[in-house]
Amino acid sequence: MKIKLTGMLLAMIMVTGILQSQTLSPTVISSSGAFYSTASGMLSQTVAEMTMVQTYSSSGNILTQGFQQPEDWPVGITETPAAAGGIVLYPNPTSGMFTLSYTSSSSGANEIKLYNLVGQIVMTQSVMQSTGVNTVNFDISSLSQGIYMLELTLVNDKGESQVNYQKVNLEY
């Protein structure tokens, strides 16, 4: 009799625990953001995270669907480290005056272009490059603060050209 009573008590505790676990309501815990709820769905937003969840329920069944963006997908320009004999631009960020240093395997006329992020050419500079290390000084202090792309086309002794881009960050 005690075994049956203990078994029945244990079964009731387990059933109560299972039933209670199905009554949880969605909750958003965040340091900043908002939570909106209507009859047709819920919208939860937090700083740097957006969540949209819609829950349907009928006769004890609950279906929750939605999307959440838990990862950060940054957009940017990858900085490439300066390699020996490569292209070096310094100081970067700059307040207007900077130097471009590069190694060329041939000599001749070269044109260096500076683009804004819309793709418009904002400056061109013709240079006579020589075989070996070349340095070119720039003054872009008349331009607006922002990010610019410097285009350098190098031509080797076989006549093959290689276009290189370097980001220039202009700060005041």
- The structure tokens 């819309």 sit at 118
Beta strands in 13-139, from DSSP E residues, in sequence order? 33-37, 42-46, 49-58, 61-68, 88-90, 97-104, 108-116, 121-129, 132-139
Mean pLDDT on 65-73: 54
Q: Please write the tens of the pLDDT for every residue from 126-167.
A: 898 888 899 999 999 999 999 999 999 887 778 788 888 889
pLDDT given at position 98? 93
Mean pLDDT on 21-25: 51
Distance CA 70, CA 51 (A): 9
Q: Which domains does the chain have, with CATH numbers?
A: 32-67 (no CATH), 88-170 (2.60.40.2550)
Q: Please write the tens of the pLDDT for every residue from 36-47.
A: 677 777 666 555
Residue 32 confidence (pLDDT) above 60: no
What average pLDDT does the chain have? Answer: 75
Question: DSSP class of residue 158?
Answer: T
Least confident of 18-22, 48-52, 157-161: 48-52
